[in-house]
Amino acid sequence: MDRIRIRGGNELSGVIPISGAKNATLPLMIASLLTDDTLTLENVPHLADVELLTRILGNHGVDMSVAGKRFGQDAGIGRTIHFNARNIVDTTAPYELVSKMRASFWVIGPLLARMHEAKVSLPGGCAIGTRPVDIFIEGLRELGATIEIESGYAVASAKGGLVGNRFRLPKVSVGATHVLMMAATLAKGETVLENVAREPEVVDLAVCLTAMGAKIEGAGTSTLRIEGVRALSGARHRVLPDRIETGTYAMAVAMTGGDVTLTGTRADLLPTAVETLARSGAAVMPVEDGIRVYRNGGGIAAVDVTTDPFPGFPTDLQAQFMALMTRADGISHVTETIFENRFMHVQELARLGANIQLSGQVARIEGVTRLKGAPVMATDLRASVSLVIAGLSAEGDTVVNRVYHLDRGFERLEEKLSRCGAEIERISG
């Protein structure tokens, strides 16, 4: 099993290209099920979750082809993939595939909308919380679907097709917003979805669906209005930059000091995180084709944060920010409001010398003058990269085990950091 070894103490300096967003890519790929024409996605990152979803879509009969390298193109950045779901041969998403990635449950919406049936395994729990799919099921039922839970599967049908309706999400859910928006594009009549997620990835999906012929209003607000159409066509769409990767590398620079330009991204994708980083002592400024982040000489200030749906502080940056606060001057607090079990990185940060106390969903972090390298264990995707950030500033060697979590959401992390002066390497086996 691969590990990553980091020798801390180096400032970061240089340029890091930001990849396409994992959290946008997955629903965009699933949207290919809505049409029998070809959907072409540009800027698709090389990630384990993307590869797994290609297997899941292939099981439904989706044909995929990857465009070859072009002159002057970096082979590691931004693939172009063509998806064609002309012949959906299977409307079942089996447990052995869905159990490996929760987002694969989202195929239930497009399959119901286009094929009027779906049998999708329930995804079960995961390391950072249960994240139930009851909102998905309740919303699809409001659109006319009949859904029964049988032997661990959601067995759904919509004879004659889905029908538009008004539905208010009981809590903001990015996944449920994706699924219900996709399903509503082919429903008869108008659908109004209230209290929906406003994340940039939701807007990106709406932009792509609109290019395919969907009629969607309100993307980026708390209310979506979708007028169903008879069929969607193909389209070509470029995946937006990964705001979580952007924030992660920005925090790495704030942690180590230095000066790095993050290219191919935008500050407006993570406004609260940018403002929080600035309060912690890092300079963050927009530049042509990206963001410049630097911290030269000054210390790290303690800042309190509370995770919230967009435009609030992203839960997917909580672990990384906590790692930064372990070296802050003073006491900070991190409050997690999205997931009930997203502090599993705390005990691993403590192995590096961090001083963190937990009380329910609040972490109290008292900054220390130094961290010391040690073997640590990744527990989930975002927790694993927080250990990398901590290791970049720790004295001596830090070895991060179980880095397959990292490969789910960070493209060529070691290469990007090493190009900017980090001593980091992957150890295979």
Euclidean distance between CA atoms 323 and 371, whole angstroms:
10
3-state secondary structure (DSSP) of residue 373: coil
> Is 355 annotated as contributing to ligand binding?
no
- State the angle between helix axes of 271-280 and 318-325 in degrees (0 to 180), rounded to the nearest 10: 0
* pLDDT score recorded for residue 390: 98
Cβ atoms within 10 Å, residue 266: 17
Lowest mean pLDDT among 74-83, 273-282, 331-340: 74-83
| Residue 126 annotated among the catalytic residues of the structure | yes
Q: Between residues 80 and 123, which one has the greater pLDDT? A: 80
Cα–Cα distances in Å, from 309 out to 163, 264, 312? 29, 24, 5
Kindly state the DSSP code that residue 317 receives in the 8-state scheme: G
Output the CA angle 362-365-367, nearest 5 degrees. 170
The CB density around residue 312, as the number of other CB atoms within 10 Å, is 16
Q: CB neighbours of 71 closer than 8 A, spacing ≥ 6?
A: none
Q: What is the mean pLDDT of the chain?
A: 94
- CA atoms lying within 13 Å on the CB side of residue 297: 0
pLDDT range class, residue 125, cuts 50, 70, 90 = very low
pLDDT value at residue 341: 72
Q: Is the pLDDT of residue 429 over 90?
A: no
| pLDDT for 126 | 44
Does 121 count as an annotated binding residue?
A: no
Q: Which domains does the chain have, with CATH numbers?
A: 3-17+241-427 (3.65.10.10), 26-238 (3.65.10.10)
Residue 134: exposed, middle, or buried by beta-carbon count in 10 A (0-12, 13-18, 19+)?
exposed
Confidence of residue 342 (pLDDT cuts 50, 70, 90): confident
Q: Which residues contact 50 (CB under 8 A, 6 or more apart)?
A: 22, 25, 26, 29, 44
Does 316 appear as a known binding residue? yes
Helix (H) or strand (E) holding 356: strand 355-359
- Which one from 52, 126, 278, 301 is the annotated catalytic residue? 126
Q: Which two tokens stand for residue 16?
A: 């890091």
Full DSSP string of 113-124 = HHHSEEEEE---
Check whether 62 is labelled as a binding-site residue: no
At which residue do the structure tokens 């909102």 appear?
135
Residue with the two structure tokens 């195929």: 107
Digit-coded pLDDT (tens) for 98-114? 888 888 999 999 999 99
Residues 115 and 91: beta-carbon distance below 8 Å: yes
173 is in an annotated binding site: yes
In this structure, of 98-102, 354-358, 393-397, the range with the lowest mean pLDDT score is 98-102
State the helix-helix crossing angle for 243-256 and 381-393, rounded to 10 degrees.
Answer: 20
Provide the whole-model pTM. Answer: 0.95
In whole angstroms, give the CA distance from residue 140 to residue 23.
22
Q: Which residue has the higher pLDDT, 143 or 123?
A: 143
pLDDT in tens, 224-281: 999 999 999 999 999 999 999 999 999 999 999 999 999 999 999 999 999 999 999 9
Torsion of CA 131, 134, 135, 136, to 10 degrees: 100
First to last CA, the chain: 5
Where is average pLDDT lowest: 122-126, 155-159, 402-406, 421-425? 122-126
Rounded distance between C-alpha atoms, residue 354 and residue 255, angstroms? 14
